[in-house]
Amino acid sequence: MHFENTLKFARSLDAADALAKYRDEFHFPQVNGRQVIYFTGNSLGLQPKRTHDYIDEVMADWADLAVEGHFHAKRPWWDYHERLAAPMAKIVGAKTEEVCAMNTLTVNLHLLMVTFYRPTDKRYKIICEEKAFPSDQYMLQSQVRHHGLDPDDAIVEVRKRKGEHHWRTEDVLRAIEETGDQLALVLIGGVNYYNGQVFDMPAITKAGREVGAQVGWDLAHAAGNIELRLHDWDVDFAAWCSYKYMNSGPGNASGIFVHERHLNKKGINRFEGWWGTQKETRFLMKPEFEPPASADAWQLSNPPVLSLAPYLASLQMFDEVGMDALIEKRKSIVAYLEYILGEIDKETSGSFEIITPKDRGCQLSVFLHGQGKPLFDYLMEHGVIVDWREPNVIRLAPAPFYCSYEDMYRFGQILKQGIREQAKAR
């Protein structure tokens, strides 16, 4: 595609952007009296303006109806979570009954491990990526110890090759093959939080299942970002959070996926609670647990309606726009950002490099040569919200819902100025 590093050109892309009108649907922080350029939608998405109405509705129903709200609220609370299933299923490529909004991400991964990590003497190993997101590492290690096993023996980390910034699919596939009938589980972050790499989920899932392992994905950085086909890829289970690309608010609820073939299975190992039993008979308060043939069977408690309300608001926006349109804009705005970075790099004679491979979603991770932290501080002071990862990486995620092409152009100008001022100061 032909790009130009000019304000006029950036504005022409915005003028042609069908999603441009959604920018006004979000609240932006201000720095120096101006809307920020927000690159951290991969960490905490901006607040949609309509979120307020969804929360206010619950607050009003609670005030007016109190306990009666469970059945008589505008959107009754006892099955509030069911409204999230269909739009969530579309985002992750699942059947409606395969997903459920509940708990938070790390909690859900633990609950899913109870079902999907059943080590035996022979088959007990887990494959994950080296330096997985810390919560995932702690989760895996503690699960392994819970079964009386040694994490150093049970957890097999797939490494990047020396001098490379990304994992090679062939290396993941080889690890799966080599671990073979000792392999109980593959659990990897579908989009890596650090370098922004998208793993080849269909190929890895297929390989894992072929050696008889379960395959799960942590989709924290994938849900609402890239195309997912969890059902068709035959993934066993997955979980994601909703506050990153899905704009549901800080620490908000997670979603889970459990493949159809595991639903309605007798004798499946699972931690259970009263919201996992069939809703028709739940209030008979019977001693027997009767799970529905859906991922709802993994629910424990009655749903946290005040946190599902903003999640529902956001899902309805995704439903309006559709992942196809979001992905199309995401590809184009990331391509424009990469082009801008290339231009600025030329003008500042090689100040940084992009370490994100071509298999990518919304995020570009940029390794800075030299300037580091002071440049990050400069960007923040000039209204560019990015994040910093040791040793010298900034992550840029131009979320297609609310970032504009003009943002990319303006960011380039601020970056160039920042690099020049740092050079002068040295």
Ligand X SMILES: *Cc1c(COP(=O)(O)O)cnc(C)c1O
Residues that bind ligand X (CB under 6 A): 104-106, 133, 135-136, 189, 193, 218, 220-221, 241
Nearer to ligand X, 219 or 366 (CB): 219
Residue 134, marked binder: yes
Residue 135, marked binder: yes
Nearer to ligand X, 386 or 415 (CB): 386
Least distance in angstroms from the C-beta of 132 to ligand X: 7
Tokens 């990486």 found at: 393
Residues sharing a CB contact under 8 Å with residue 248, sequence separation 6 or more, in sequence order:
45, 242, 307, 310, 311, 313, 314
Let me know how long the chain is: 426
Nearer to ligand X, 216 or 383 (CB): 216
Q: Which among 142, 131, 159 has a CA at the least distance from the CA of 393?
A: 131
Q: Which among 140, 108, 116 has a CA at the least distance from the CA of 209?
A: 116
Nearest-5° Cα angle at 198, 193 to 199: 110
Residue 302, marked binder: yes
Q: Which among 194, 214, 219, 192 has a CA at the least distance from the CA of 204?
A: 214
Nearest-5° Cα angle at 117, 288 to 187: 130
Nearer to ligand X, 98 or 136 (CB): 136
Q: In angstroms, how far is the first alpha carbon of the chain from the final one?
A: 37
Nearer to ligand X, 133 or 275 (CB): 133
Q: Which among 45, 86, 359, 101 has a CA at the least distance from the CA of 224?
A: 45
* Sequential DSSP letters for 176-212: HHHHGGGEEEEEEESB-TTT-BBP-HHHHHHHHHHTT
CB 363 within 8 Å of CB 395: yes
Quote the CA–CA distance of 232 and 83 in Å, as a whole number.
Answer: 23
Least distance in angstroms from the C-beta of 243 to ligand X: 7
Residue 274, marked binder: yes
Nearer to ligand X, 46 or 263 (CB): 46
Least distance in angstroms from the C-beta of 106 to ligand X: 3
Least distance in angstroms from the C-beta of 166 to ligand X: 16
Nearer to ligand X, 200 or 218 (CB): 218
CB 310 within 8 Å of CB 248: yes
Nearer to ligand X, 193 or 405 (CB): 193
Strand 183-189 and strand 125-129: the pairing is parallel
Least distance in angstroms from the C-beta of 39 to ligand X: 16
Residues sharing a CB contact under 8 Å with residue 328, sequence separation 6 or more, in sequence order:
none
Least distance in angstroms from the C-beta of 359 to ligand X: 17
Residues sharing a CB contact under 8 Å with residue 381, sequence separation 6 or more, in sequence order:
31
Quote the CA–CA distance of 352 and 227 in Å, as a whole number.
Answer: 29
**DSSP 3-state of 47:** strand
Nearer to ligand X, 238 or 241 (CB): 241
- CA distances to 195, 204, 348, 353 from 343, rounded to whole Å, are 21, 36, 9, 12
Least distance in angstroms from the C-beta of 360 to ligand X: 15
Residue 105, marked binder: yes
Least distance in angstroms from the C-beta of 315 to ligand X: 17
Least distance in angstroms from the C-beta of 346 to ligand X: 33
Residues flagged as binding site for pyridoxal 5'-phosphate: 105-106, 133-136, 218, 221, 243, 274, 302
